[in-house]
Amino acid sequence: MKYWEKIVSNEKLRKYYKKFLIWEVKHLSLMQKLVIISLIVGICCGLAAVLLKNTVAYTYSIISRFTWFSADRGNILFLLYPMIGIALTVLVIKFFVKDDLSHGVSKVMYAMSRNDGKIKTHNCWSSMATSSITVAFGGSVGLEAPIVLTGSAIASNIGNLFRVDKHIKIILLACGAAGAIAGVFKAPIAGILFAFEVLMLDMTMVAIIPMLISSLSAAMISYFFLGQQAEFSYIVNTPFELNKIIPYLFLGIMSAIVSLYFLKINSFVSSVFGKMSKVWKIIIGGVLLGVLVYIFPPLFGEGYPALTKLLNNDMSSLLENSFFHSNSNKTYLIFIVVGSIIILKAFATAITCSSGGVGGVFAPSLFIGGFVGFLVARLVNLSGLFVVAESNFVLVGMASVMAGVMHSPLTSTFLIAEITGGYALFTPLMIASTISYLVVKPIHKYSIYAEALAKRGDLMTHNKDKTALRFIDKTKLLETNIYKLSINSTLRDVVHAVEVSSRSFFPVVDDDNNFKGVLVLDDVRGLLFHQEYYDKILVRSFMRYSPFFIADINESMEEIIQKFKGVDRYTIMIVDKGKFVGCMSRANVFLAYQRYISESSDE
């Protein structure tokens, strides 16, 4: 059944849909079509971001009505909420979604690398629904990865409606991701940079224009429904001074150390929970997370309210509803609490994801970075060597830890500048983010999103050569009009082969078409002028055989390319379970590679 028949069941709608497809093919150029689709994608992403934000806020407002706490004891219900949220999330996935929803950004990268830009339709809503439950009930994760998957899923399915090819669909996936980030943060520049830096999309005009439209339209929708106020309202009262660059350099190094710690803890907790059954994951994860958020309330949910309090230097209210409220002015206690929150947030995030919750590490990396920035600034001020604005360091710390965890110095720099209006701190943002990235990258090669894909060999977007080879159709490179010789052929048969074929080699097969070797014309050229040998010399006496010039049709293009690395290997014999099916030339592979690169970069 054709795609449009699945989408519309009404006969009249099907008729209009077919007319529309014919009209757009006749009247719309590729760029015009992309502009229209990217605008639709951007609007949908903006609406999705608004819906997600309001759903989480509304759900939290409902459960927060039920409280049992005092300023010194904390809300006892915090012990239960995370387990309830995780359990509800798991049930929704099991009975309604029936698919894996973890690692939203990784799923987008996989779709771009291995699945021709296809994302299942349920991802248009399932990640939003489940992540809102997880976060509203205290799951210590962010909403950004789910909304990125949602935006890309919307873009993929809209691309299906317009019947675009896989190359354009991959651009649309990036448009959806960029629109999602732009919509949830009201940060269009960061959304575009996220697609280029994290998803590793090629920066061409064919991709840039649609992403600009998608990001801007998503941000405008978000502004319209949620107001023009930035995510973290902040005014830079103390601008950057060059003589205070050393503390920012130190912050970059500390952020890198914390980023590496975050990545290691995420991997460790994931491996531990991977050995448990689903029920035990919910129970153990829910209990641990409940205890953590009960003792340290800032660990509850995304943690953005806590960051806002740090930006306003409001440590007293930050410790409200906790055991530490009555001693919030004691310096040593502040260091203990802030240090503990930094250490435990990594555990809380990893536990939430590993036990069945749905969410991302975008918000946790910002959260941890803000607390790292505050801690470094407070230490610097106590040292007496420098006097720095702690709120400025909170902002810069947010960017630098995010840069280390996600390997995205540009995205983190512009994101913090956009969501806070803190462009006056652009220089320290770039300094700390770059240092954090440069320290983390050699130690931890892949970002938190790319690591699992890289281990499975599914990460193509970060290697353009692999991406090109992934999209080259092997069957179109096969040369099947090859004159074959039988294993029992004689020199006379070779003479006939030379007469009817212009090739300098001939594959040798048995009666069942099993590949046995290759006869190279140069090996018998001198014998062709001696007719007395025509019926005496057998082909098998001169044929060559080596596994280095044979490849199976089911091997990947990367594996086949390795066969060409020999100096004299210009043609590879292709077999299917031992049966000869054709040959593949190095020249044709190179031309196909060049054609793909040219089409992908066409402006």
Neighbours of 199 (CB within 10 A): 23
- At 264, the pLDDT band (50, 70, 90 cuts) reads very high
Q: What is the DSSP string of 18-70?
A: HHHHHHHHHH--HHHHHHHHHHHHHHHHHHHHHHHHHHHHHHHHHHTTS----
> Mean pLDDT over residues 209-215, rounded?
94
The larger pLDDT score, comparing residue 4 to residue 248, is at 248
pLDDT of the residue at 295: 87
Residue 119, amino acid: I
pLDDT of the residue at 70: 44
> Mean pLDDT over residues 116-136, rounded?
91
Q: At what angle do helices 304-311 and 390-406 cross, to 10 degrees?
A: 140
User: What span, in angstroms and rounded, lies between the C-alpha atoms of 534 and 494?
Assistant: 9
User: What span, in angstroms and rounded, lies between the C-alpha atoms of 400 and 407?
Assistant: 10
The top-scoring range by mean pLDDT among 5-9, 126-130, 542-546 is 126-130
> Mean pLDDT over residues 163-179, rounded?
90
User: What span, in angstroms and rounded, lies between the C-alpha atoms of 342 and 340?
Assistant: 5
User: What span, in angstroms and rounded, lies between the C-alpha atoms of 576 and 5?
Assistant: 36
Q: Is 516 helix (H, G, I), strand (E, B) or coil?
A: strand
C-beta separation of 389 from 424 below 8 A: no
Residue 306, amino acid: A
Using the Cα atoms of residue 579, residue 584, residue 589 and residue 591 in order, give the sign of their dihedral.
Answer: negative
Tokens of 337: 């609490």
Confidence check: pLDDT of 57 > 90: no
- Tokens 């209210």 locate to 317
What strands lie across the sheet with 515-520, from one edge to the other? 485-486, 505-509, 515-520
pLDDT of the residue at 241: 83
> How high is the mean pLDDT of the chain?
85
Q: At what angle do helices 331-354 and 278-295 cross, to 10 degrees?
A: 160
pLDDT of the residue at 276: 92
User: What span, in angstroms and rounded, lies between the C-alpha atoms of 60 and 569?
Assistant: 65
pLDDT of the residue at 1: 40
Residues 6+ apart with CB under 8 A from 292: 140, 299, 344, 347, 348, 351
User: What span, in angstroms and rounded, lies between the C-alpha atoms of 159 and 7?
Assistant: 13
User: What span, in angstroms and rounded, lies between the C-alpha atoms of 498 and 492?
Assistant: 10
C-beta separation of 290 from 80 below 8 A: yes
397-415 residue pLDDT tens? 999 999 999 999 999 999 9
389-398 burial, b for 16+ CB within 10 Å, e for fewer?
Answer: bbbbbbbbbb
464-475 burial, b for 16+ CB within 10 Å, e for fewer?
Answer: eebbbbbbbebe
User: What span, in angstroms and rounded, lies between the C-alpha atoms of 364 and 343?
Assistant: 12
522, with CB counted inside 10 A (0-12, 13-18, 19+), is exposed
Q: Name the residue among 197, 201, 138, 205 with its Cα closest to residue 174.
A: 201
Residue 511, amino acid: D
pLDDT of the residue at 325: 64
Q: At what angle do helices 126-136 and 81-92 cross, to 10 degrees?
A: 170
| Parallel, antiparallel or unpaired: strands 485-486 and 571-576 | unpaired
| Parallel, antiparallel or unpaired: strands 515-520 and 550-552 | unpaired
Domains of the chain: 3-226 (1.10.3080.10), 242-461 (1.10.3080.10), 468-600 (3.10.580.10)
235, with CB counted inside 10 A (0-12, 13-18, 19+), is exposed
Residues 6+ apart with CB under 8 A from 6: none
The larger pLDDT score, comparing residue 12 to residue 525, is at 525
Among 46-50, 259-263, 377-381, 545-549, the minimum mean pLDDT is found in: 545-549
Q: Name the residue among 514, 499, 507 with its Cα closest to residue 479.
A: 507
Residues 6+ apart with CB under 8 A from 76: 68, 69, 294
Residues shown for the chain: 603
